[in-house]
Amino acid sequence: MVTADLVSVRAVAEGAAVFCAGLALWWIVEWRRGTARARVVLAGAAVDEPGERDEGRVWAAVGARWWAVVRGRRAWLCLPVAGVVALLGGSPLPLLAGAAAVPLVARRLKAAERRKEREARAGRVVALCGAISGELRAGWQPAQALAYAARQTGALGDEEAVVLAAARFGGDVPEALRRAAGQDGADGLAGLAACWQVAVDGGAGLAAGLDRLEAALRDHHEQRDRLRAELAGAWATVTVLAVLPAAGLALGAALGADPLRVLLHTPAGLGCLVVGGALEAAGLWWAARIVRGGERA
């Protein structure tokens, strides 16, 4: 019975290794395909250039495509890591945990990407206000200044065509800007809509209002950056807490204690693994909640 259990565990671990090898082979195939496409695209563009320069452009394009492929599937890297741990521990449990971690890691990575995009769009809105103000002071009409600044900064996002059409053909520009402000990170466009409406209805100076709006938005972003810098130490503490269990396992293996065998093949070890994993997850969630509460405040 024990021999049969060991054979089944070994078979599952070997299957995990084969799956990870297949995943690595698929990545290599994607890399070769990106190389071929880059050579075809750049073949006609660099006929008159030296060979080394052409090769550099090809490899730059290949690297960009490879990074795009890997970046979109970073969560799947949990499987190879879990496969290695499954082979070292001789148990399929790490592979199951890695498969369960893929959607969670993917969701966290998507949230981080959305946060970066939100911050980048907020910065583009600040640049939009400054660009419109500068063009107005240079003698341009508001509609022309808005069209030029929007194309230069890309702050309007998916609503750019609607806003520019309203500005060009005499539509309701403030309302179009308010709809554009509904995009993630584009809250500052609501202030631009208010300045535009006041300037149109009351004849106030649009450039002066945009200068004050730009200063207020920039001050808000700088304050948020300062707060994030102050909370960097707290995030470092959370990261250290997350790495400590892995460091403990590595230290135990270095001392010859074989912690993976104890955790994965004994009832007491499995109980400690479940309880410790639950406490670790709860501690990380609580610490991250405290830090994010400080960021929101």
Calculate mean pLDDT across residues 208-215. Answer: 89
Residues 145 and 167 sit within 8 Å (Cβ to Cβ): no
pLDDT band of residue 246 (cuts 50, 70, 90) is confident
Q: Is the pTM of this model over 0.75?
A: no
pLDDT digits (tens, 9 = 90+) for 257-271: 888 888 888 888 889
pLDDT band of residue 127 (cuts 50, 70, 90) is very high
78 vs 182: which has the higher pLDDT: 182
pLDDT digits (tens, 9 = 90+) for 86-106: 888 888 888 888 888 888 888
Residues 92 and 86 sit within 8 Å (Cβ to Cβ): yes
From the list 200, 191, 249, the residue with the least C-alpha distance to 220 is 191
d(CA 273, CA 260): 10
Calculate mean pLDDT across residues 133-139. Answer: 88
pLDDT digits (tens, 9 = 90+) for 28-71: 555 555 555 545 444 444 444 444 455 556 556 655 555 555 56
Query: Can you give the pLDDT at residue 34?
Result: 54
Q: Quick one: CA torsion of 211, 214, 219, 224, rounded to 10 degrees?
A: 180
Considering the chain, what percentage of its residues have pLDDT values greater than 70? 73
**Cα-to-chain-centroid distance, residue 111:** 7
Three-state SS annotation for the chain: CHHHHHHHHHHHHHHHHHHHHHHHHHHHHHHHHHHHHHHHHHHCCCCCCCHHHHHHHHHHHHHHHHHHHHHHCHHHHHHHHHHHHHHHHCCCHHHHHHHHHHHHHHHHHHHHHHHHHHHHHHHHHHHHHHHHHHHHHCCCCHHHHHHHHHHHHCCCHHHHHHHHHHHHCCCCHHHHHHHHCCCCCCCHHHHHHHHHHHHHHHCCCHHHHHHHHHHHHHHHHHHHHHHHHHCHHHHHHHHHHHHHHHHHHHHHHHCCCCHHHHHHHCHHHHHHHHHHHHHHHHHHHHHHHHHHHHHHC
d(CA 225, CA 209): 24
Residue 83 Ramachandran class (φ > 0 left, ψ -120 to 50 alpha, else beta): alpha
Calculate mean pLDDT across residues 202-228. Answer: 84
Calculate mean pLDDT across residues 149-178. Answer: 89
Average pLDDT, the chain: 78
Mean pLDDT lowest among 8-22, 107-121, 211-225: 8-22
pLDDT digits (tens, 9 = 90+) for 184-210: 888 889 999 998 988 876 656 788 888
